[in-house]
Copies of this chain bind each other. A is one copy, B any other.
């Protein structure tokens, strides 16, 4: 096996291992938010005013799933729906105050956890690791 094949194999194995733990990690970090709910809130934080269809397309979820999650998050007071005056079919999604609050709390817990894990890393390694992850996700988006 070439060095390249070996590296690819390692990347695959480790990313899979990470994915396996992701659900459990999310459950511990923010028990009151499912991974998808957290995802939607985090997305809305960056993309205020996006539509349900955007979320479905971006995360490869069925629109019915997003519809139900959005309804649930609205009922909990985490997001708001506004009608688009220029197109009455679309609902424009925004974070509600409750959503901003719970998102901040969840992010703090996640950050503390990650900080503990990466405490011993050199700044250079950390910075390179971050760059690699950005690049990998960008490549993943290009090769669906």
A residues adjacent to B (C-beta < 8 A): 3-4, 6-12, 14-27, 35-36, 38-39, 42, 59-61, 107, 110-111, 113-118, 120-121, 123, 125-130, 132-137, 139-140, 142-143
Contacts and interface: CB of A to CB of B under 8 A. Distances in A.
B59 A20 contact: yes
Main DSSP-derived SS at the A contact region: helix
Given A114-B12, A132-B128, A35 B20 contact: yes
B140 A21 contact: yes
Count identical subunits in the complex.
Answer: 2
Nearest to A40: B20
Contacts of A120: 139
A136 B127 contact: no
B110 A12 contact: yes
Given A7-B123, A59-B20, A117 B130 contact: no
